Structure 1
Amino acid sequence: MHNSENAVVYWGWAVAGVAYALLSLRLIGQQYLGTAVNRIAVMMLAATLFTVMWSVGSLLALTEAPAWWLGAQAADILRYLCWAVFVALFFKTNAGQANGGWYRWWPGLVVVGLFGAPAALVMVYLLAGAKGQAFLMVLFAIIGLVLLEQLLRNLPEDSLWSAKPLCLGLAGIFLFDLYVFSQGVLFQGIDPEALSVRPFVHALMVPLLWLATTR
């Protein structure tokens, strides 16, 4: 990879990290995160924080030590899980209200995720190699798109306008990842150029996700 191409990759991860860090700060500053524990808001915050970890870990893997790559890939999986739960919560009545003691389980769930995701990735690589990891990402992208499609089908008409930025932002993420990782499943490998612009594409979705927090 030439120096100019290296610079593009570095800038991609840096831009994605900064963009999602700003979105995370926006969510932390929201009133509903300050007073009541809102499950939907917490899941969105978790997804954005894991995206920051994914970006920073990927950048460190390129500049410092390749060992960071495992952590970055684990964060990639965890953020997809958070986005899936985030969308699924919209199907639950009063999911955004603070009720019950569910939040008491968060420390344990975070620990399980941080240790379980890298272990699961290692197992996937041992059993199926890079193609197995690509298949896993394709599966996550398809699940995300199915959940978004069901959300749009089930939302009342008066809620569709406010949900459009969120659905467009997440659909952009899921569709691009489906394109990128399906190449790794169907062909010999993932296109390096598509993979290098992946963080830029994810960063481009931040304005839509930001807009969704204002509605």
Structure 2
Amino acid sequence: ILQQLTLAQQEIAWDQTNKIRFGLPPIIGNYFFPKIAPQLIAAGLMPQLQTVEAGSAALLNQIKQGDLDFALLGASGPLQEPDLTISQIGTAPFVIITPESDPLAQKDKVRFAELAMQKFVTLSEAFVHTRAFTWFQQQSAFIPNVVYQTGDVQLLKQMVAQNVGIGFLTNLAINPDDHLAAVKLTDPKQPVFTISIVRRKDRVLTPAMQHFNQILAAN
């Protein structure tokens, strides 16, 4: 109870600044934020936005601790947290990415088990991709040869483009100017990348936060 009171006092003090603390993972940010930016500007909310960029796992902890008001979070399946209000707004598949010149790029789809001889470049554990990658590994009964892990999505794509290894990403992270091929995974009952708006249930929203929440939910 004491912790809840302290958190409530901190949030009351924060609300006096008229700012909105918004957690945004890099992949979702690059895909989603440009869509809502014009609406935020039109509503006069952009100057009030204080954006925090990190992986979804790290941002989830910040939401729970009261360090963020909202976050757009990715997960490897439906997100479930009893103390949070969660609104799922989209899904996307996980795919294998390769250079366009790689023989694997000529395939439309592949089973993960067919990749046992490949080298992988993967995202670090701050990203939800780790859990999904582990699922594919367990289903395929081999330990992938991960030659490099990074917390930088752009660096991962550049390393794949330079033939360091193949990558494992949600297809939301792939842009035409990356010049990479995305190969579908055919494993049954595989996890999908979900996108959700997340906030604490006991967070009292200011009028600006309510308006911000409406804009997020409408997209």
Give your verdict on TM over 0.5.
no
TM-score tier, shorter chain, comes to: under 0.3
Structure with the larger strand share:
2
Higher relative contact order (CA 8 A, sep 6+): 2
Normalised to the residue count of structure 1, the TM-score between the two structures is 0.23
TM-score by length of structure 2 reads 0.23
More helix by share: 1
